[in-house]
Structure 1
Amino acid sequence: MNNLDKGTVIRTVLLLVALINQFLVMFGKTPLPLDEESVNNLADVLYVAVSTLFTTVMTLITWFKNNYVTDKGKQQKEVLKQKGLTK
């Protein structure tokens, strides 16, 4: 993993966090310690909405960004660097 781009690692980790959170929400679990007495229904709905929005945004960012994960992708990135076409 030492050859991976820092942005690729960050996007991948954030996507994994978003997906884990979304699975927890799907099964009625909340990663935050919220109990029924202290939270009303509006807060629950808001939490699910924000969680879904976060997952959707992270999925789109990860999908659209060029993540050089495979060997072919790493070679492509190296060629782009040599030609001055990427950071």
Structure 2
Amino acid sequence: MKNVDKGTVVRTVLLFIALVNQTLMMCGKSVLPISEDQINTLADALYMAGSAAFTIVTSLIAWFKNNYVTEKGKQQKDVLQQKGLTK
């Protein structure tokens, strides 16, 4: 047991807890005193936050990748223009 990675132990314990929790939920038992309305409200909030984060991140990536915003990018654009490779 001396050579066991701490991260592996933590992940294994968390996996075990998740599996026990999932099994209890499938049997209709609630591990935490949370109502279905609270779960739905939380799920809606998480969906909205996740959707907003996804939109923001993909927008920033698309903007950055498709525009010459860095100094290196501006140099690349100049070279492309000199070679007649841009519109």
Q: Give the alignment's TM-score, normalised by structure 1.
A: 0.37
The structure in which a higher percent of residues are helix is 2
Larger radius of gyration: 2
